[in-house]
Amino acid sequence: MGKPTGFKEIKRELPQDRPAQDRVKDWKEFHIHMPEEKLAAQGARCMDCGIPFCHSGTLLAGMAQGCPVNNLIPEWNDLVYRGLWREALDRLHKTNNFPEFTGRVCPAPCEGSCVLGINEPPVTIKNIEASIIDKGFDEGWVTAQPPSVRTGKKVAVVGSGPAGLAAAAQLNRAGHAVTVFERADRVGGLLMYGIPNPKLDKAIVQRRVDLLAKEGIQFIVNTEVGKNYPTEKLLKEFDAVVLCGGATKPRDLPIEGRNLKGIHFAMEFLHGNTKSLLDGKKNENFISGEGKDVVVIGGGDTGTDCVATSMRHQCKSLAQLEILPKPPPERAADNPWPQWPKVYRLDYGQDEAKAIFGQDPREYLVTAKRFIGDDKGQVKQMEVVRIEWKKDDQGRFIPQEVPGTQKVLNAGLVLLAMGFLGPEETVLKGLGVAQDERSNAKAEYGKYATNVKGVFAAGDMRRGQSLIVWAINEGRGAARAVDEFLMGESDLP
């Protein structure tokens, strides 16, 4: 690498976040950009490690190890250190269609597998990635690149999330006429309506969508295939179809009082909030946490986004319930490198709640028992109980209540953020696509073809709820499979 001793001389440094007390007053992104000289120094920490696990992109112990889109991380780290930003951008775009998205919302399994991370803090890969693409847009290096030749083949992509956009971008690059169907009123899927503005500004999403449109991709919004667009028409009008509808069926909590008003799925809350923000007015689906005791059930990224959104609504209080135990401050013995480090982190939403209310809002090893309503059918409280994980007769760990630990929380708004069970089945049933035991579209990874000729599936709709980088990985892979199906061969990566 450019500076062989950089990892010994330079400490890991991340950009500062805007102060929590300030950023909860607006919907702007919370990161502050680092100057180029500091980014170059961080790039110099990338060591000549021989076997860079950071871009290996495999599964280990059920979790991503390294980058699933196989980003050429050591190469562009070195180029940033040398000040060759344009060349770094070219390397980055070789493997990743949308680094401005992954550089903001990906949990960075690459950093968890950084060789330097064995005994030192890892290289700041994610921040360097975001900085490369941001500079590329700022300098005008990122421009529309429509294909020079068209094949005459037509492909439909159902769903405009990261998998759908990646598939569309690659298929358009191959010269096919691509139409993307999106049931919402804006393109982007989870990127647009599932992730709040402070973590991913919607202007950044729209900027990329506009670029794809200039390259020749047609976007059709407010159109749900199988409902207001017949599935048989899809098969008749297109030479191939790629299903990228995501895993959008939320996990429910069927306990006493679930029918009370004020209990919502997380995506209802997040979607309505972002749409109101973009429309410039509160719409009929807007759900407010203002002045309420908010309880978020679920501890993942979606739960964090609900926390951050509720803080910007100026909620009265906030609690976040997590059924799993609190992670340790450092890797446990059964969680060795290069696995993703399952350690305690204070994400942006919890950081804001701690700044305003004085403590991390998360309560671990807790589950809900029942919701309690007022005389108008509105939730006002909920009963919870502590649990412990014990093995059953089959040796499986299951949660068991700890006697005498019940307590009642105030709860004027409850948000269910417990993950997703699989895809909604309207389009799958309409097309006759076979489903696996988890209800996902049945298609082999790497081939992506379903049981219906000419119909392919990728992203969360095929693999279940997962990371944005896996969605992009699968969208790109499905595009190559479709190109081979249509043309007999493919030059797509």
Q: In what order do the strands lie in the sheet with 455-457?
A: 218-220, 177-181, 154-158, 240-243, 455-457
DSSP state of 446: T
End-to-end CA distance of the chain: 26
CATH number of the domain bearing residue 430: 3.50.50.60
Domain span at residue 271?
252-418
Q: What is the CATH number of the domain that holds 118?
A: 1.10.1060.10
Which of 167, 71, 94 is CA-nearest to residue 458?
167
The reply to whether 278 and 414 lie within a common domain is yes
**The pLDDT value given to residue 252:** 97
The Cβ of residue 176 has, within 10 Å, a number of other Cβ atoms equal to: 26
Contacts of 427 (CB under 8 A, 6+ apart): 158, 225, 226, 231, 243, 245, 433
Distance CA(326)–CA(363), nearest Å, equals 8
Same domain, 281 and 369: yes
Preceding peptide of 19 cis, ω within 30°:
no
Helix (H), strand (E) at residue 80: helix 73-81
For residue 234, the model assigns a pLDDT of 96
pLDDT in tens, the chain (493 residues): 678 899 999 999 999 999 999 999 999 999 899 999 999 999 999 998 989 999 998 888 888 899 999 999 999 999 999 999 999 999 999 999 999 999 999 999 999 999 999 999 999 999 999 999 999 999 999 999 999 999 999 999 999 999 999 999 999 999 999 999 999 999 999 999 999 999 999 999 999 999 999 999 999 999 999 999 999 999 999 999 999 999 999 999 999 999 999 999 999 999 999 999 999 999 889 999 999 999 999 999 999 999 999 999 999 999 999 999 999 999 999 999 999 999 999 999 999 999 999 999 999 999 999 999 999 999 999 999 999 999 988 889 999 999 999 999 999 999 999 999 999 999 999 999 999 999 999 999 999 999 999 999 999 999 999 999 999 999 999 999 999 999 999 999 9
Angstrom CA distances, 442 to 65, 251, 438, 455, stand at 24, 21, 9, 11
DSSP of 354-395: HHHHSS--EEESEEEEEEEE-TTSBEEEEEEEEEEEEE-TTS
Same domain, 169 and 237: yes
Q: Is residue 376 part of a domain?
A: yes
Do 274 and 233 fall into the same domain? no
Measured from the Cβ of residue 381, the count of other Cβ atoms closer than 10 Å reads 17
321 DSSP β-pair partners: 297, 363
Torsion of CA 332, 334, 340, 343, to 10 degrees: -20
Are 125 and 114 in contact, with CB atoms under 8 Å apart?
A: yes
DSSP 190-216: IIIIIS-TTTS-HHHHHHHHHHHHHTT
Q: Where are the alpha helices (DSSP H) in 193-338?
A: 202-214, 231-237, 266-279, 301-312
Determine the pLDDT at residue 1: 65
Whether 43 and 100 share a structural domain: yes
Structural tokens at position 187: 């393109």
Same domain assignment for residues 368 and 385:
yes
The domain boundary, picked from 418, 440, 458, lies at: 418
Q: Which residue, chain included where needed, has tokens 């701690």?
A: 354
Clarify whether residues 116 and 206 are in a common domain: no
Q: Is residue 280 located within the same domain as residue 170?
A: no
At CB < 8 A and 24+ separation, what contacts does 47-53 make? 47/1, 47/4, 47/6, 47/7, 47/115, 47/116, 48/1, 48/4, 49/74, 49/115, 49/116, 51/115, 52/115, 53/113, 53/114, 53/115, 53/338
Q: Are 283 and 275 in contact (CB under 8 A)?
A: yes
Number of H helices, E strands in the chain: 17, 18
